[in-house]
Each structure stands twice: as C-alpha cells, then as structure tokens.
Amino acid sequence: MQRIALILLLAVLLLSITACDKKGNPELVAIKLSLTNLRSVYEAEIASGGDAENLTVDEALEKAQIGDVMQTHWDFEVLGNPPKRYMATSTDTNKIGEGKKIWYDTEDKSFHGYFLDEEE
C-alpha cells in the first residue's frame, strides 16, 4: 500500500514538474525529476524511522534509480540533516557546460538555479 502511495505521489510530482517547465527543456525536466526522486528516497528513509545522516548520496541515487548517464552529466548533493536542499551541478560532460546548478529547496518547496531563476 505504501509503495502504491509513493508511485502515485511520484506521478503527481512528475505532472507538476512537466507542467511547471514553461520553457519545454527536456533536460530540465529530467534533472527536476531526478532531484524529486532523490528527495523521495530521503523522505521515505526519514518516514520509516531512519536517519538521513546514515544514507549516503550514492545509496540514495541507486535507490532512486538515477542512472549512470544522468550521474555522468550531473553531480548530486544533499545539504542538511534533515535535508534542506537537493542540488545537482552540471559536469564538464554536460552539453550546458560545467558548474551550472539546479536545486530543490524544501523550505519554499520549489526548484531554483540555472535556467529557472533567469528573467523570461
């Protein structure tokens, strides 16, 4: 039952992520989905009585099923305990260039960073 609820939550989040991406950038949608999946893993760990401090980012990326290709183009970080920010930084293999940051902020519940906070 808990797994079904998580799947439904991810589906709703995916729809909202896609709908919020007014610029139609597929890579932006993919990184937002990856950060959402990463956040879901940490939230599930905390909800089950675990401690986010004991969960490494590498373990969380594996549980979130974020593949090698995405990890080649982005470095992932989780900041805070409990996590306050889920961040991805583009690597030198990324077509957008190295060092671009996109993150999800748990306090304002929104995505920020490259291509998101720029003027229209």
Per-residue pLDDT of 3-17, as tens digits, reads 665 565 555 555 454
Give long-range contacts, CB 8 A cutoff, 24+ apart: 15-21: 20/111
pLDDT band for position 117 (50/70/90)? confident
Query: Which pLDDT band holds residue 93 (cuts at 50, 70, 90)?
Result: very high
pLDDT in tens, 35-87: 999 999 999 999 988 778 889 999 999 999 999 999 999 999 999 989 999 99
Task: Tell me the whole-structure pTM to 2 decimals.
Answer: 0.78
Q: What is the rounded CA–CA span in Å between residue 100 and residue 17?
A: 19
Quickly state the pLDDT bin for 19 (edges 50, 70, 90). very low
Residue ranges per domain, the chain? 2-113
Given a contact cutoff of 8 angstroms between Cβ atoms, the answer to whether 38 and 76 are in contact is: yes
Gap between the Cα atoms of 61 and 41, Å rounded: 8
Long-range residue pairs from 70-78, CB within 8 A, at least 24 positions apart, any chain: 70/30, 70/31, 70/34, 74/31, 74/34, 76/34, 76/35, 76/38, 78/38, 78/42, 78/52
